[in-house]
């Protein structure tokens, strides 16, 4: 969190991690699939590692408003995750996404003109927009299902598949 109690994306990522189930189904680089008594969860992420110069302390290429220069190999990725053995039926699919456009208080602060001093209204606004994007719809699954996710650099997405009875 920031000094004003504004959530940062890392905090939102922990909130999404807390929604994962207790049973690990599958894990690979870029995603993890879990299950619990509510249904299935898929957490997909696009991790970008720090640039080597930044890692040894060179901060000459970043500024207050240009922080992403500290990362190397920033690329959008596409993940296709096939789930097999899912009971056939209707599911509610809830997707939570955190990226530079949704949930990033830093990027929103930059869009505001990066004010050096924020007032109470600015803080309330930044708190209000520092949440994951949430989408929900119903789908029918027949024993297997493929989830496709396109993730920008630094993005994280959680999909919850909840059976509809």
What does the alpha-carbon distance between residue 110 and residue 88 come to, in Å, rounded to a whole number?
46
| Domains of the chain, each with CATH number or no CATH | 9-163 (2.60.40.1500)
What pLDDT, on a 0 to 100 scale, did the predictor assign at position 164? 95
Query: What are the Cα distances from residue 55, in Å, to 49, 63, 72, 130?
Result: 9, 16, 11, 27
Q: pTM for the whole thing?
A: 0.90
- Could you read off the pLDDT of 84-106 as tens digits, one per residue? 989 999 999 999 999 999 999 99
What does the alpha-carbon distance between residue 32 and residue 44 come to, in Å, rounded to a whole number?
7
């Amino acid at each position: 969190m920031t000094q004003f109690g504004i959530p940062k994306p890392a905090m939102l990522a922990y909130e999404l991690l807390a929604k994962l189930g207790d049973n690990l189904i599958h894990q690979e680089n870029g995603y993890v699939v879990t299950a619990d008594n509510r249904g299935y969860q898929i957490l997909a992420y696009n991790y970008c590692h720090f640039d080597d110069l930044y890692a040894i302390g060179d901060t000459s290429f970043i500024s207050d408003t240009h922080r992403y220069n500290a990362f190397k190999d920033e690329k959008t990725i596409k993940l296709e995750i096939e789930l097999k053995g899912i009971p056939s039926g209707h599911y509610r699919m809830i997707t939570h996404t955190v990226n530079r456009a949704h949930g990033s208080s830093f990027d929103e602060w930059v869009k505001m003109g990066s004010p050096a001093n924020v007032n109470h209204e600015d803080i309330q606004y930044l708190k209000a927009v520092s949440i994951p994007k949430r989408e929900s719809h119903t789908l029918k699954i027949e024993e297997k299902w493929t989830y496709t996710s396109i993730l920008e650099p630094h993005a994280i997405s959680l999909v919850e598949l909840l059976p509809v009875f």
